[in-house]
């Protein structure tokens, strides 16, 4: 996969893309990543990329000629690649969107700054808009990093043989259950016996039930879209009954 990011601050990506799984993805030739400086496409000696808004108001607006020129230069003749604006007005990013985007051979992410974009940038050069949550950041760079990380870890081979397909939170609609490692006892706390039983079927069953329990506790809304067996529905009913009894006590 190739990911191109257009930004006013390309240096922000250097450390993130040179560490951990992002570095491994690039080292394994599974990811080509490029951060392009939008200022390089300004046609004035001051490399000016913004101007005051028509109609007045605070803040500065990114100029359409500079930004559209930068997108067209990076995109070239490629009309298939999504050009995604990082924007609080976009569709809210989630696991399903990460999987969707990982299916593309190339992505172009556009990071804003200042007060916002001239609307003609959207009309002429943008195919999608993504938000990482209902809040506003100083710029789109941090949001782009989140999207890149979530998308790249879906690429086969980035995380090794097992990949990110089954145990990640949200991969099957559920939050992840608890994990344990050595030592077997720490400050009086042990680990569930099933994890050392060697019985893989029982381990999988335990992990599924714990994932359901954690989802019910922290994000019960997610359970509305999860395909549950009758036994699992009974388990949730029992969790609710136990909680009710504890609250009464």
> Closest Cα partner for 62 from 129, 132, 139?
139
Provide the CA 223 distance to its chain's centre, in angstroms.
21
* Angle at 223 (CA atoms; ends 218, 227), nearest 5 degrees: 145
- The answer to whether the CB of 164 falls within 8 A of the CB of 154 is yes
Q: Tell me which of 10, 118, 168, 207 is the catalytic residue.
A: 168
Provide the CA 206 distance to its chain's centre, in angstroms.
28
Q: Catalytic: 149?
A: no
Q: Give the integer Cα–Cα distance in Å for 127 and 125.
A: 7
Which DSSP string corresponds to 28-44? TTS-EEEEEEGGGG--S
The position carrying tokens 């195919």 is 127
Q: Tell me which of 51, 72, 115, 128 is the catalytic residue.
A: 115
Q: Tell me which of 39, 106, 153, 214 is the catalytic residue.
A: 153
Q: Tell me which of 4, 50, 64, 88 is the catalytic residue.
A: 88
Q: Catalytic: 115?
A: yes
Q: Catalytic: 168?
A: yes
What is the rounded radius of gyration, in angstroms, for the C-alpha atoms of the chain? 23
Q: Catalytic: 91?
A: no
> Closest Cα partner for 66 from 129, 6, 140?
6
Active-site positions? 88, 115, 153, 168
């Amino acid at each position: 996969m190739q990911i191109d990011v257009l930004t006013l601050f390309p240096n922000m990506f250097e450390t993130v893309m040179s560490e951990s799984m992002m570095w491994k993805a690039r080292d394994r030739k599974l990811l080509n990543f490029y951060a392009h400086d939008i200022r390089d496409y300004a046609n004035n000696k001051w490399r000016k990329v913004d101007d005051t808004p028509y109609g007045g108001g605070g803040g500065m607006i990114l100029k359409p000629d500079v930004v559209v020129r930068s997108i067209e230069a990076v995109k070239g003749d490629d009309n298939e690649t999504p050009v995604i604006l990082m924007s609080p007005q976009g569709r809210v990013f989630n696991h399903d969107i990460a999987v969707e985007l990982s299916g593309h051979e190339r992505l172009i992410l556009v990071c804003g700054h200042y007060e916002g974009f001239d609307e003609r940038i959207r009309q002429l050069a943008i195919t999608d808009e993504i938000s990482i949550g209902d809040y506003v950041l100083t710029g789109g760079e941090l949001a782009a990093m989140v999207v890149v990380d979530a998308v790249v870890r879906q690429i086969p081979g980035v995380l090794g043989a097992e990949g990110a397909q089954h145990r990640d939170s949200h991969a099957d609609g559920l939050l992840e259950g608890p994990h344990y490692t050595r030592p077997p006892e720490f400050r009086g706390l042990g680990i569930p016996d099933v994890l050392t039983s060697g019985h893989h079927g029982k381990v999988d069953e335990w992990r599924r039930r714990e994932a359901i329990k954690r989802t019910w506790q922290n994000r019960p809304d997610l359970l509305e879209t999860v395909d549950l067996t009758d036994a699992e529905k009974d388990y949730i009913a029992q969790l609710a009954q136990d909680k009710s009894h504890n609250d009464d006590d």
